[in-house]
Chain A
Amino acid sequence: MASAYVLRETGGNLVRNIVMTVAAVVTMAVSLTALGGVLIMRQAINKATVQWQGGVQLAIFMNPGASGQEIKAIGDELHAMVPQEVQKYWWVDKQKAYAEFKEMFAGEPAFIKVMTVQQMPPSYRVVPAKAQNVPQLAAEFNNQPGVHKVGYPQQAINQMLSHFSTLRTVALVLAAGVMVGAIALIVNTIQLAIFSRRREVAVMKLVGATNWFIRVPFMLEGLAHGLVGAIVAFALTYFSRGTIASFVGNNSLNYGAPLYVSPHEAVMTGVFILVVGMLVGTLGSAFAVRRFLVV
């Protein structure tokens, strides 16, 4: 009985103020889409730079067929450079390389299919003691036996990161600004709903409805605004995740493969958006109820 009543009331409120409801939902959706876009871009970058995390600036890729001796020689040399030239280093074997490869090229399943673990170049990942030593270190290892090539794509990564950082700032400012508008609209919509139902509220108080019973339909209305806005934002970020990722630029690190975000990651972002939307909607309406509903 009580829950049926609450749902009917909430639904009624949403429909009664349809224009305000739409405005609140749309602004909420825009704000959350911007927020979701930032998360999508960051996921894309994390994927593209999976080999270059933890301060790694230099990767010494061995030939897939390099002998144990050749591998050990490079390792010994790196060991001798700690800590003056090399802060730390570690070995990435073929299995791990294959896992990274699958992540980097998750958007190109056909490519993944034709590659095998045995074809993967294992590598040493090097965190240099000083960034300016990188080209010198690279030159030192480049022509050693068993070395396929030495990569130090820091410039490309930095370029991508600075591009991302600009996009992120713009998107977050947009998200925050529009979010303020969305909250204001939710508060205002709930205020209107409270006003248009003041007779009912007066009667409810008169006959002894509990304060929460009076408040809940209004709070659920705010939650619904947030939730519906978030669902729209979820759909937008999910289906345009490729486009959003491409805003960061082409992935010059991985032979120009487009930046990619997996459906699973996009769903995780979507869940986060849903939680934020419901939270903001509920808090906004709670504020309106506290402020405008005297119980």
Chain B
Amino acid sequence: MPAQGSRTGLRIYREYVTLPRVLAVAAAAVALVATGLGGVALRDGSDAGGTASFVAGAVIGLYAVVLGLLVTRRHPANLVGAVLAWTGAFLILSSASETYTLTVAGADQLAAFSEGSWMWLYVPVALLALLFPDGRLPSPRWRMVAAGLLTVPVAFTVLVAMSPGPYPAPYDDVPRPLGTHEWAAPLAIAMLPLFLGLLVASAVSLFRRRRTADAVGRDRLKWLVVAGLTVPATLLLCWTSYLLLGDADLVVVGLAAMYVGIPTATAIAMLRHDLYDVDRVLSGTITYGLVSAALLSVLTVATFVSGLVVPGDSTIAAAAATAICAVLLSPLRNRLQRKVDEKLYPVRRGTLAAIEDLRRRAHAGIARPEELEPVLRAAMADPDLRVGYRMPGGTAMVDAAGNDRRTGAGATPVLIGDDEIGAITFSRGCPAPLAREIADASALLVEVVRLRLELRAALDAADAGRARLLRVSYAERRKLERDLHDGAQQRLVSLGMSLRLAQRHLDQQQLAQRDVDGAVDVDGLLDTTVAELATAVAELRQVAHGLRPSSLDDGLGPALSNLTSKVPIPVELDIQANGSLPDELTTTAYYVASEAVANTLKHAAARTVVLKVAQTDGQLRVRVTDDGLGGARVATGSGLAGLSDRVAALGGTFRVLSPPGGGTTVEAVLPCGS
């Protein structure tokens, strides 16, 4: 189907043959041709200076062309790449035509046009500023500026070529191809302020754009501003050059930096605007620029003064001045960096300061390292920022409370050495280098938090284990107690009843033989045996009671009443435990009371004991107070230490207050959850 095929072809054609592509390729072609012609011209003869100048121009120009092509390849509909390519093409064209004019016979006619051609070097840069970053003019009104940038240099070149007066050396005797006209020179001069106005307008367009740009556009613009900073940097170099060398030769370096810097910055902005943290580059550049300016000022003054004081030996003076400046400026740089950061880069400065502050407060014990997440959220104005901690030995991330946390694919890992100990997820775009810097600054806090988490998990596990063990041991005791009651005790009583039954059936004859010498007194024997059995049962009952007081089945109050009813000194009971409490709680409370009362009886020589149990605010409080000798201690292996362990296993607190001669208070506070 040829029709459809041709439509498809047309579509492909429209898609691939875009104006920026065509322009970029054209620039590349022009650049290659110009390089070729320049090369040919060089072969025909040139001095070393001319060769170096051409080669430098060609290399820098080709660099810009290649970058322009790359940008166009990535953004085929964006004119920025094409303009970038033309920046290089113009540079090559300029230096090639210069070389060509110089070396090729008969080409000197071109000199007429090369005189005003310097203006073209600014055109691509100005257009770049105008079209950056989306390849479109800020608004239709700016078409005038663009058109001016393209027509004014043409007019200027032609007018300069027609101006009267000889060419500069070495073309003094070359005739002017378009003739000379008196009116051309003033007109050409009139073009200069016009052109300057167009350049300023292009620069202004960048600031207009900044106001309307989105985050990415703003990042890209910043890159261009960084590149634009090479312009004042060139001025600084000029200054330095005059100061140190006495002429402006170093400016060439600045110009080269500018021509390398602007395409580089443009390409980074268009291809990888998040390659570096542009804010950081910007603020660093400005800081270093300011420091350099300050250094040069001091140096200028110092050189001047020392020249007055120590005439003749300017090398020593310059060295001394430089040393003094370096010493003076090194603290200045940090302060300056902070100031510049505050103005240009508040997020980085604020966030790093907040992390540092938290670290200091955590060290001083007035803040918890777990506050890292809220601190970062506040400092970065990012309410959805998340910090995940990787538990040692685990793979999943948790938050500061130990709950599972998804950090997401775009998270920035927090590393110590090669170990990933956590991750930070920025929900608002954060440049990768800044993210890295924040993650590194947070690493110590993250490490502390995850270790604390691990410790807490281990302690929780230990606590849970202890509580479980205690419950199991109580359950075991309960089971043993029942087994004793229902098993052994019951069996012994049954045995006793059988013996009694047997005893009742002893025949009278056997009873009559009771008094006969040598005969066994069966009746008496059975009495004794049954009495022994009854004693055994009573003893078993005691054992069972020791395992677990059965009276606890009736509740804590009755059990404690039972306990104190056997105490030989007066006991004041005040029991206010209403709700039904878990078995391990009542059992522990009972043991606390029982052990404390037993201690009082054994050691305190007390006259009275007060036993108080109160259940309030989710706590069960057991307090035993006596008026005895005091001086009790919780020694290892003692009954009190055992109590302390039991109470701690349930998450309670246990304390003994026993000043010598001041009586003893034993108190346990147990959480009871109601």
The answer to whether A and B assemble together is no
B: which residues have CB within 8 A of A? none
